[in-house]
Structures are given as structure tokens and as C-alpha cells.
A and B are shown apart, each in its own frame.
Chain A
Amino acid sequence: MELLIIFLSASIVNNFVLSYFLGICPFIGVSNKISSAFSMGLATTFVMVLSATVSWLLFNMILVPYNLEFLQIPSFILVIASLVQFVEMVIKKVSQPIYRALGIFLPLITTNCAILGLALLISMREYSFLESIFFALGAGIGFIFALMIMAGIREELELTDVPKPFRGAPITLITAGLLALAFMGFAGMI
């Protein structure tokens, strides 16, 4: 039950993009088409779960026992960067179609603050191993949700007559604001 609440809270109620403001760059940048939004979301979720696992192990097995918590930031970012590189190589070797679909998004993920933010939030909230995995999964699914809804709206937005100064990033941000307002409706759920 506890795990389900963590999962739902991360995916819907406290959506990473719309209420924690993590991962805004890809949210604004890649949410043009539904198909690429989905690929990006999938790649991000995959890396999120993987990096949450590895960084939890790193933090609780190495940094805490040796009193090295101050190395948290550099070690997490290095782990994430090398993990992304590794995942890219594995995917390239294993499956060409998946690589073509996700490949271009992988380098972008390193500087996605949602990944590092997730790892930091896990160590801040002192989640257990299982809890962190569910948290990462929920955050990833929530990211896919937000990205795909936004992409759907933006595909329609292309056809509308937006005042010229507001085209591009400004109208996207305002739309995201309205979306965040809608997601607040879930706040009473948990």
C-alpha cells in the first residue's frame, strides 16, 4: 500500500514536471510531436529507474558507511553520465530499431535535472531500496504523461492563431501553467 501511494504521488499528484519543475528543458524542447515525446519519456523513465537503483546503492553502501556524503553531487552526476553512455552503447549493440527511436534522446538525458533531482530526493527522503524503485517508476510515468499531454496540445496549437510575440516558448509555458492547474485537481486524491 505504502509503495502504491509513493508511486501514485510521484506520477500524478506531485508530478515531476508540473509541480516540482524538474525536467522543464526537454518538456519545452521535445514536446512538439506525440511520437518523439513518447520516445523521450520512455528513454527518461528507463534511465530514471536505472540511475535511482545505482545511486541508492552508491549512497547507502559506499558514501554513508565511509562518511563521504559531501561527495554526493559529483559522484551522482558521474554515475548518471556514465550510465547514460553505457545504456546508449548497450542499446546500439542489442537493437538497432530501439536505438534509432531513442538514441538521439539519450545524450540529452544526462543534463535532464529530473534524473539528478530524483537521485537527490531519494537520498533526502531516506527511502528504502524498494521505495526508491517505485518512486523512480512513478516519476518516469508521470514524466511520460506530462510530455504526451503537452505534445498533444502543441500539435493542436500549431494550427491556431497565436499573437506573434507569444509564439514558441511563451505560449508553451502558459499552456503548461493551465495544465499544472488541472493537475492540482488530483491533490485531494492522496
Chain B
Amino acid sequence: MKKEKTLLQEFVKGIDEINPVMKQALGLCPTLAVTVSAINGIAMALATTFVLMFSSLMISIIRKLIPSQVRIASYIVIIATFVTIADLVMKAKFPAMSKALGPFVPLIVVNCLILGRAEAFASKNNPLKALFDALGNGAGFLIVLFIMGSIRELFGSRTILGFHILPHSFEPMLIMILPAGAFITLGLLMGFKNAYTERVKRKEREDIVKNYRAVSKLESTNQGL
């Protein structure tokens, strides 16, 4: 029972607490590049999650066999293997999507998110934990890419996932699907996320102070009696 809970925690922390894009600023290149539409973002995130999952699992299984001097090189070879699989499968099954993502599927190899998780987590924990950690980080990545893609698609071409949302009278903002729009959207998104986290934290602090005051007041009245 207790073990299951920790696995769940490993999963959840990747979505919010250590979200790869929002908190660690890892994997920014694909986040900015492929989120012209929501569906591209989802495809990219799924490919990344696939690679992240299997390479974390693999690295965690053989973590005791790898000498620490050559660990980075071995991680890269393992990651490159799974990226090749993902790339070839995508080329064969979804040629249009593979074309839309361009060089960014092979570039998953150098996505610092994957190497970061391998180095920081998978090389120190058992395979099951590593798998859940990878899934959580993948999910966090997916959420950010989906939100980015939706915002840019909504304002850039009036649709989300191909469904028309905004009326035709709305003039599409060309800047949103251009590179400049990607930078600005992500910057604003990160800023608002920071502001929100700050507010939640301040509220928690205030609550603690309030509780403390209430308790001490109670104690002093008790003493008075």
C-alpha cells in the first residue's frame, strides 16, 4: 500500500512540482519549435515520452553494470537507439506527421530532459520507480506542449485540434504561428505559472501564521483562566 503511494508520487511530481519545461526549463527547443498546432505538440510529446520511458527503464535495469566514467556515453547510445526506433516507426506509419516535425524527432537524442532524467533519477533508482518517474515527466511535457499548441493554434488559425473555435470574423494573428509567437507565449505562460505558484505559497504561509496566532491566543486565554 505504502509502496504504491510512492510510485504515484513519483508520477505526480513530474507533472507539477518538477515539470520539465516550466520548472527546470529543459527541452525548450521542441516545446517552441513544434507547437504550431495542438496535434503536433501531442505527437512530439508522445514520441518523447516513448523514448524517455524505455531509455529510463533500460538505464535503470543496467545501472549497476555501467562504469561511471563512461555512463554519459552509454546513456546517449541507449537513447539514440530508442530515438531511431521512434523515428523509423513514425516515418513508416505517420509520414505526414514525421514531415511536419522535421528534424525534431531525431533531435530527441539531445533533448536535455531525457539525459537529465537518466542522470538524476534512473541511474539511482529501481526500474519500477524509474518507469513511473519517466511517465510523470512525459505527462508533464505532454500537458505543456498541448497547452502551448492549443494557444498558438487558437489565435493563429482559429482552431484547436482542427475544430473551429473562434468565429470567422476573428482575424488570425499571424505572429502566433511564427517563431516570435512561440517565444512570447512560452514566456508569458512561465510567468503566469510562477505568479500562481507564488500566490498559492503565500496563502499557505498566511494560513499557517493565522493558525499559529489562533492557537497562541487560545493558549493565552487558557492561561488567563
Write the residues of chain A forming the contact surface with B, with a CB cutoff of 8 angstroms. 18-25, 28, 70-74, 77-78, 81, 110-113, 116-117, 120-121, 124, 163-166, 169-178, 180-181, 184
Contacts and interface: CB of A to CB of B under 8 A. Distances in A.
Interface in B2-31: 25-26, 28-30
Given A172-B187, A177-B182, A181-B180, A70 B84 contact: yes
Contact of B180 (A70, A110, A172, A178): A178
B84 A74 contact: yes
B26 to A, nearest CB: 8
Contact of A177 (B103, B107, B183): B183
Given A78-B77, A112-B110, A181-B175, A165 B195 contact: yes
B109 A77 contact: yes
Q: Chain A at the B interface: mostly helix, strand, loop or mixed?
A: helix
Contact of A165 (B28, B111, B194): B194
A63 B221 CA distance: 84
A181 B83 CA distance: 33
B191 A165 contact: yes
Contact of A170 (B30, B33, B179, B194): B194
Contacts of A176: 183, 187
B177 interface: no
13 contacts: A21-B179, A24-B29, A25-B26, A73-B106, A74-B81, A164-B194, A165-B194, A166-B187, A172-B187, A173-B183, A175-B187, A176-B187, A181-B178
A120 B80 CA distance: 14
Contacts of B209: none
B115 interface: yes
A170 B77 contact: no
Contacts of A81: 73, 76
Given A21-B32, A25-B112, A173-B184, A117 B76 contact: no
B112 A170 contact: no
A13 to B, nearest CB: 12
Interface residues of B, number: 41
Counting chain B CB atoms within 10 Å of each CB, which of A25, A77, A173 scores highest?
A: A173
A77 B106 CA distance: 10
Contacts of A72: 84, 106
A77 B110 contact: yes
Nearest to A124: B103
Contact of B107 (A18, A70, A110, A117): A117
A170 B188 contact: yes
A18 B195 CA distance: 27
Contacts of A116: 106-107, 109-110
Nearest to A187: B178
Contacts of B115: 111
